[in-house]
Amino acid sequence: MDRVSRRKLMKMVAVAGSGAALTTLVKTEQVNAEEIARMTTEEQAATVIPAARAFGGQHSPKPLPFDPTKLKGISEKLIKSHWENNYSGAVKALNVVEQRLAAMLGEKDLPPYIYGDVKREELVRTGSVVLHEYYFANLGGDGKASGKALDFIKQWFGSYEQWEAEFKKTANALGGGSGWTILSYNLHTGEVHNYWAWDHMHNAPMGYPLLVLDMYEHAYHMDYGAAAAKYVDAFMQNVNWDEVNRRVEEMRLRK
Ligand SMILES: [Fe+2]
For 133-151, the pLDDT digits (tens) are 999 999 999 999 999 999 9
Distance 204 CA to ligand 1 centre (A): 19
Distance 87 CA to ligand 1 centre (A): 6
For 49-91, the pLDDT digits (tens) are 677 889 999 999 999 999 999 999 999 999 999 999 999 999 9
Distance 121 CA to ligand 1 centre (A): 16
Distance 166 CA to ligand 1 centre (A): 21
Give the H or E element holding residue 49.
strand 48-49
Tell me the pTM: 0.83
Distance 56 CA to ligand 1 centre (A): 24
Distance 234 CA to ligand 1 centre (A): 16
Q: Is the pLDDT of residue 227 over 70?
A: yes
Q: Do the bridges between strand 207-214 and strand 180-186 make them parallel or antiparallel, or are there none, so unpaired?
A: antiparallel
First to last CA, the chain: 57
Distance 128 CA to ligand 1 centre (A): 7
Label residue 153 by pLDDT band (50, 70, 90). Answer: very high
Distance 160 CA to ligand 1 centre (A): 26
Label residue 47 by pLDDT band (50, 70, 90). Answer: low
240: number of CA atoms within 13 Å, CB side? Answer: 18
What is the structure's pLDDT at 115?
A: 97
Distance 12 CA to ligand 1 centre (A): 35
8-state DSSP, 217: G
> Where do the DSSP E strands lie in 176-225?
180-186, 192-197, 207-214
One-letter amino acid of 216: Y
Distance 116 CA to ligand 1 centre (A): 24
What is the structure's pLDDT at 28?
A: 47
Higher pLDDT, 173 or 28: 173
Distance 28 CA to ligand 1 centre (A): 41
For 174-184, the pLDDT digits (tens) are 998 899 999 99
